[in-house]
């Protein structure tokens, strides 16, 4: 019923945001009609434009999904305990790094708005401010390495599990700089819509990760058997590879001439301050959202090793659907930023809606599969696992996948509308909403359940599902309100701006989108 109301609202609301009368006909009231689809496919801000940008990004984020999936699968084959330790330690590491990633990657919005406004000389300097932030972030992350034993002692997990968690966490922190730096530089490409380069770099990095995952976890081809430590070092190596590749492309002569990627290296206090003003709330939201899920996982681990393993398994399976859909989120954020840079909020709104439609269809199909054929997703983990141990794990994970199916459809709103709001600069609302709801609806109720033994894992997952649904509805309402349409992160347009890019081999924004 809620989904039907949302879809009905989507159709009627677009009459207000999409102010192009020729776009509509007598089929408008049926969102999935062939006439509607044909018009929406070819129109500016339509499905074709969004898919052209999102396609390579889906492959990029999908490569992360495959990387995590295969990594956990190898660890399951190696030892169920290693798999159980990898998720909380990996989530904690990523939670720490996520603040810096969320802040540095906000360079994407600055690049998109400057690019849309055709102020190409400001693109390189905005990326350099994110690079300076990444350098400071790398040093701060290293401080956490000696704190790891105390952190995992607090978790209350088995001592053997704590030791594996500590090792995994410390190695990932040692390579934390590379992932923040890579996200800072990737904004230079995604913000301009040059997503093919990002796709190939991420695919190559995934190949590096998976190759050394196998060699270092199991000790193949003369390499030592390192178990969970091998998985962590493979992740660091892949992140370093991505950082080098992005740097090489960023400093190409064409980019140096067109976008000041070398001469714009100087620290710009005003520009850095604006990156912090808008980027820090984005980073805080990303970090505290991840922290909420990490603490949720730790609390569930106190219910028992079986509950922790089943939760890990359900989350890992869902990354196969969730991470690829982040590609649509990045595309929505980029297009909203570019269109607002062009002072065209109507087209920005249409781009966001087109991304939502496609993401919703995909996630709904995945949700049906989670319920109808859950074993299809579980079988790869069972291939080399102990049958007796995995049988109990699988039975509980099947139930948890039904929770995932319930909330992943609403996650479509979280992915797209939060990205659109961030693309405009409405990062504070996203931060406050996600943080307050996450702790009030998910973290604190789960702590009460575990602390006072008021229920089991399924009650904890009920609160987590409620959090995702409520968050989605609030982002949807904020987007409908429309305040984001007047927001900008870049300074006002100067009196004179060149009508064309500095060099003829740099395409216009319109040419890159088509």
In a domain? residue 506: no
Question: How many degrees, rounded to 5, is the angle at CA 326 between CA 324 and CA 332?
Answer: 130
Cα–Cα dist 349/346, whole Å = 5
The pLDDT assigned to 461 comes to: 93
* Number of neighbours of residue 458 by Cβ within 10 angstroms: 13
Q: Give buried/exposed letters for 189-209 (b at 16+ CB in 10 A, else e).
A: bbbbbbbebbbbbbeebbebb
In a domain? residue 212: yes
Query: For residue 492, is it left (φ>0), alpha (ψ between -120 and 50) or beta?
Result: beta
In a domain? residue 510: no
Contact 425, 334 (CB under 8 A): no
Domain that holds residue 452: 54-491
Cα–Cα dist 358/420, whole Å = 15
Nearest Cα neighbor of 363 from 316, 414, 398 is 414
Domain count for the chain: 1
CA 109 → CA 9, 53, 341, 360, 458, distances in Å? 28, 15, 10, 24, 39
Cα–Cα dist 331/422, whole Å = 12
In a domain? residue 197: yes
DSSP 305-359: HHHHHHHHHHHHHHHHHHHHHHHHHHHHHHHHHHHHHTT-HHHHHHHHHHHHHHH
Q: What is the pLDDT along the chain (514 residues), one digit of tens a residue?
A: 444 444 444 444 444 444 433 334 433 434 556 766 777 787 778 888 888 888 888 887 767 767 777 877 788 788 877 877 887 788 788 888 889 999 999 999 999 999 999 999 999 999 999 999 999 999 999 999 988 888 888 766 777 788 888 888 999 999 999 999 999 999 999 999 888 999 999 999 999 999 999 899 898 888 888 888 898 999 999 999 999 999 999 999 999 999 999 999 999 999 999 999 999 999 998 888 878 887 888 788 888 888 888 888 888 788 777 776 788 888 999 999 999 999 999 999 999 999 999 899 889 999 999 999 998 888 877 766 677 778 888 889 899 999 999 888 898 999 899 999 999 999 999 999 998 999 899 999 999 998 888 878 899 999 999 999 999 999 999 999 999 999 999 887 655 555 455 544 444 444 443 3
In a domain? residue 141: yes
The pLDDT assigned to 29 comes to: 39
SS3 of 435-466: the string is HHHHHHHHHHHHHHHHHHCCCCHHHHHHHHHH
In a domain? residue 204: yes
Cα–Cα dist 43/35, whole Å = 12
Cα–Cα dist 277/269, whole Å = 12
The pLDDT assigned to 384 comes to: 63
The pLDDT assigned to 257 comes to: 93
- Side-chain-side CA neighbours of 15 within 13 Å: the count stands at 9
DSSP 234-293: HHHHHHHHHHHHHHHHHT-HHHHHHH-TTTT-S--HHHHHHHHHHHHHHHHHHHHHHHHH
The DSSP element (H or E) to which 401 belongs, if any, is helix 387-408
Q: Burial level of 29, CB count in 10 A (0-12/13-18/19+)?
A: exposed
The pLDDT assigned to 510 comes to: 43
Contact 287, 99 (CB under 8 A): yes
Cα–Cα dist 40/352, whole Å = 12
Nearest Cα neighbor of 476 from 409, 406, 415, 417 is 417
The pLDDT assigned to 242 comes to: 94
The DSSP element (H or E) to which 16 belongs, if any, is helix 2-17
The pLDDT assigned to 33 comes to: 62
Nearest Cα neighbor of 347 from 18, 110, 114 is 18
Contact 387, 77 (CB under 8 A): no
* Number of neighbours of residue 86 by Cβ within 10 angstroms: 25
Query: For residue 151, is it left (φ>0), alpha (ψ between -120 and 50) or beta?
Result: alpha
* Number of neighbours of residue 135 by Cβ within 10 angstroms: 12
Coil/strand/helix, residue 132: helix
Enter the tokens of residue 147: 């704190």
Phi, psi of 68 (to 5 degrees): -65, -40
* Number of neighbours of residue 439 by Cβ within 10 angstroms: 17
Contact 446, 296 (CB under 8 A): yes
* Number of neighbours of residue 280 by Cβ within 10 angstroms: 18
The pLDDT assigned to 152 comes to: 83
In a domain? residue 47: no
Could you tell me how many residues make up the chain?
Answer: 514
From the DSSP assignment, how many helices (H) and strands (E) are in the chain?
Answer: 22, 0
pTM of the full structure: 0.79
Nearest Cα neighbor of 232 from 324, 94, 384, 140 is 94
- Side-chain-side CA neighbours of 309 within 13 Å: the count stands at 25
Coil/strand/helix, residue 501: coil
In a domain? residue 453: yes
The pLDDT assigned to 31 comes to: 54
Spatial CB neighbours of 204, under 8 Å, sequence gap ≥ 6: 241, 245
Question: How many degrees, rounded to 5, is the angle at CA 40 between CA 407 and CA 112?
Answer: 75
Contact 81, 157 (CB under 8 A): no
Cα–Cα dist 79/69, whole Å = 15
């Amino acid at each position: 019923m809620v989904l039907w109301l949302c879809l009905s609202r989507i159709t009627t609301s677009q009459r207000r945001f999409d102010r192009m009368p020729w776009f509509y006909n007598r089929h408008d009231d049926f969102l999935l009609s062939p006439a509607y689809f044909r018009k929406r496919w070819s129109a500016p801000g339509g499905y074709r434009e969004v898919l052209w940008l999102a396609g390579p990004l889906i492959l990029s984020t999908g490569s992360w999904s495959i990387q995590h999936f295969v990594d956990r699968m190898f660890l399951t084959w190696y030892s169920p305990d290693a798999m159980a330790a990898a998720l909380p330690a990996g989530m904690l590491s990523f939670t720490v790094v996520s603040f810096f990633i969320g802040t540095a990657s906000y360079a994407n919005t600055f690049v998109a708005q400057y690019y849309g406004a055709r102020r190409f000389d400001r693109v390189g300097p905005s990326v350099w401010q994110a690079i300076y932030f990444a350098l400071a972030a790398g040093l701060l992350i290293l401080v956490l390495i000696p704190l790891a034993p105390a952190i995992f002692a607090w978790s209350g997990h088995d001592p053997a599990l704590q030791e594996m968690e500590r090792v995994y966490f410390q190695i990932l922190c040692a390579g934390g700089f590379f992932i923040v730096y890579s996200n800072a530089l990737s904004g230079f490409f995604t913000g301009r819509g040059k997503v093919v380069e990002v796709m190939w770099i991420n695919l190559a990095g995934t190949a590096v990760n998976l190759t050394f995952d196998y060699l270092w976890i199991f000790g193949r081809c003369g390499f030592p058997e390192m178990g969970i430590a091998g998985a962590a070092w493979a992740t660091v190596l892949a992140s370093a590879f991505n950082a080098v590749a992005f740097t090489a492309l960023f400093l190409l002569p064409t980019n140096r001439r067109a976008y000041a990627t070398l001469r714009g290296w100087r620290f710009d206090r005003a520009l850095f301050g604006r990156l912090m003003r808008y980027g820090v709330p984005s980073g805080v939201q990303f970090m505290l959202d991840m922290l909420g899920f990490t603490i949720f996982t730790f609390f569930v681990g106190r219910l028992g090793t079986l509950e922790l393993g089943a939760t890990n398994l359900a989350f890992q399976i869902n990354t196969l659907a969730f991470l690829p859909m982040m590609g649509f989120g990045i595309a929505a954020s980029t297009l909203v930023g570019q269109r607002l840079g062009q002072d065209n909020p109507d087209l920005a709104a249409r781009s966001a809606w087109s991304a939502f439609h496609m993401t919703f269809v995909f996630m709904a199909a995945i949700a049906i599969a989670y319920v109808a054929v859950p074993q299809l997703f579980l079988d790869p983990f069972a291939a080399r696992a102990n049958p007796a141990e995995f049988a109990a794990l699988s039975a509980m994970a099947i139930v948890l996948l039904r929770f995932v199916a319930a909330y992943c459809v609403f996650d479509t709103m979280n992915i797209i509308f939060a990205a659109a709001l961030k693309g405009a600069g409405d990062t504070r609302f996203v931060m406050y909403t996600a943080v307050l709801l996450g702790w009030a609806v998910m973290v604190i109720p789960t702590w009460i359940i575990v602390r006072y033994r008021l229920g089991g894992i399924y009650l904890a997952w009920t609160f987590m599902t409620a959090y995702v649904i409520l968050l989605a509805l609030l982002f949807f309402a904020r987007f409908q309100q429309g305040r984001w349409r007047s927001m900008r992160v870049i300074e006002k347009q100067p009196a004179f701006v060149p009508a064309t890019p500095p060099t003829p081999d740099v395409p216009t924004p319109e040419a890159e989108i088509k």
